[in-house]
């Protein structure tokens, strides 16, 4: 049994689908702060299997202990957390509370219950401004905002915990830019309010829920002047979590002196305009845009060196930009208002 915190969220729900399809039993632990219970109904529709649900908050240690006992989980995949960079600058304490304290309480509960296998959702944002590309896992860690620092602090906590007790099995997965949706069109990203991220914004422009995309800057030192990112299909990302679990269960993992820390990216960068063009192509809809000033805090380019994931997890992203845009469009056109549609 796997306890999936934040299992009703965007990446969590896609991972639940892959876990259930692979035969794992799943209990979701979610407070529905930024997610919708409907996602779990859809997970069941896709897989024909029902994930157990325990509504609760990771900061409530007793609730996590109860969930671990009730579910008899032997591993945890920990997605629950806040993830908006801008909001983290305005409300840093809320980010440290949810992301850092939430994980601390979860770890205490796991220790109390003797559950020692954990896959943690980190982010490429822990690297900060790249000093060298592609980003390898040994790139210095220098996050530039409270959200990124909350992920980095949890990583440090996990490294210290593993050093103190190497019977823990811990994987830290550093995601690049997750996009797209499940092929069924039943689950996908459902941002509240105005989307901050590129692909959901483009999707809402294509479906005419918003008028025009602002392209934040076209004077970056990139091929077309717009920002370059390593977009990764959320289904590939979900499969990376299964591979991480598998690797942690492999006795060879004892040989790792550290937590099993890997980038999950494709290794390929696409510009904002590449994404716009691909989206127009697969949707057959125009995506009008205008060039606007740079967004504060943005960097020119960011993409992964994905070699370590291949070596240690035997995982590699398989789906390209067209599949990412096509699945995003499928989800968006069936569910123009997300789970409220």
Smallest gap from Cβ 277 to ligand UD1, in A, equals 14
**Residue 297 in contact with ligand UD1, rule: CB under 6 A:** yes
Position of minimal CB gap to ligand UD1: 227
Closer to ligand UD1 by Cβ: residue 10 or 24: 10
Spatial contact of 19 and 242, defined as CB atoms under 8 Å apart: yes
**Choice from 159, 277, 285, 295 touching ligand UD1 (CB under 6 A):** 295
Catalytic-role residue among 10, 95, 127, 147: 147
Strand order, beta sheet including 270-271:
270-271, 228-229, 301-302
Q: Looking up tokens 């717009």, which residue turns up?
A: 226
Smallest gap from Cβ 145 to ligand UD1, in A, equals 7
Closer to ligand UD1 by Cβ: residue 49 or 277: 277
CA atoms within 13 A on the CB side of 103: 26
Spatial contact of 202 and 213, defined as CB atoms under 8 Å apart: yes
- For the segment 172-231, give every residue that binds ligand UD1 (CB under 6 A): 177-178, 196-198, 201, 213-216, 227, 229
Active site residue 289: no
Query: What end-to-end distance do the CA atoms of the chain give, in Å?
Result: 32
Closer to ligand UD1 by Cβ: residue 1 or 299: 299
**Choice from 54, 85, 118, 321 touching ligand UD1 (CB under 6 A):** 85
Rounded to whole angstroms, the Cα distance separating 64 from 226 reads 44
Spatial contact of 120 and 126, defined as CB atoms under 8 Å apart: no
Spatial contact of 231 and 176, defined as CB atoms under 8 Å apart: yes
One-letter-per-residue 3-state SS of 178-194: EECCCCCCCCCCCCCCC
Q: Are strands 52-55 and 177-179 parallel, antiparallel or unpaired?
A: unpaired
**Choice from 34, 103, 121, 125 touching ligand UD1 (CB under 6 A):** 125
- For the segment 21-60, give every residue that binds ligand UD1 (CB under 6 A): none
Closer to ligand UD1 by Cβ: residue 65 or 179: 179
Q: Please report, as ranges, the residues that interact with ligand UD1 according to CB under 6 A.
A: 85, 123, 125, 147-148, 177-178, 196-198, 201, 213-216, 227, 229, 272, 295, 297-298
Positions marked active-site = 147
């Amino acid at each position: 049994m796997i306890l999936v915190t934040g299992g009703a969220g965007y990446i969590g729900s896609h991972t639940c689908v892959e876990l259930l399809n692979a035969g794992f039993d799943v209990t979701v632990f979610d407070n529905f702060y930024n997610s919708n219970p409907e996602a779990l109904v859809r997970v069941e529709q896709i897989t024909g299997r029902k994930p157990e649900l325990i509504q609760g908050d990771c900061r409530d240690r007793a609730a996590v202990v109860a969930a671990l006992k009730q579910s008899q989980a032997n591993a945890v995949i920990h997605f629950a957390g806040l993830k908006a960079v801008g909001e983290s600058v305005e409300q840093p304490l809320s980010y440290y509370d949810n992301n850092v304290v939430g994980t601390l309480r979860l770890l205490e509960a796991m220790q109390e219950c003797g559950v020692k296998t954990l896959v943690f959702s980190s982010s490429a944002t822990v690297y900060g401004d790249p000093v060298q590309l592609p980003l390898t896992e040994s790139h210095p860690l220098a996050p530039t905002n409270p959200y990124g620092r909350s992920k980095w602090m949890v990583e440090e906590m996990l490294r210290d915990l593993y050093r103190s007790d190497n019977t823990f099995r811990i994987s830290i997965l550093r995601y690049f830019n997750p996009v797209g949706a499940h092929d069924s069109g039943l689950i996908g990203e459902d941002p509240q309010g105005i989307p901050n991220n590129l692909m959901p914004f483009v999707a809402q422009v294509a479906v005419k829920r918003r008028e025009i995309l602002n392209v934040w800057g076209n004077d970056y030192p990139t091929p077309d002047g717009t920002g370059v990112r390593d977009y990764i299909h959320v289904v590939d990302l979900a499969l990376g979590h299964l591979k991480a679990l598998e690797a942690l269960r492999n006795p060879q993992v004892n040989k790792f002196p550290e937590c099993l820390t890997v980038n999950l990216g494709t290794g390929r960068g696409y510009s904002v305009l590449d994404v716009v063009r691909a989206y127009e192509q697969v949707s057959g809809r125009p995506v009008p845009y205008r060039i606007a000033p740079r967004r504060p805090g943005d960097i020119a380019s960011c993409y992964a060196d994905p070699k370590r994931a291949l070596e240690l997890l035997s995982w590699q992203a398989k789906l390209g930009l067209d599949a990412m845009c096509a699945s995003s469009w499928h989800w968006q056109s069936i569910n123009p208002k997300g789970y409220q549609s």
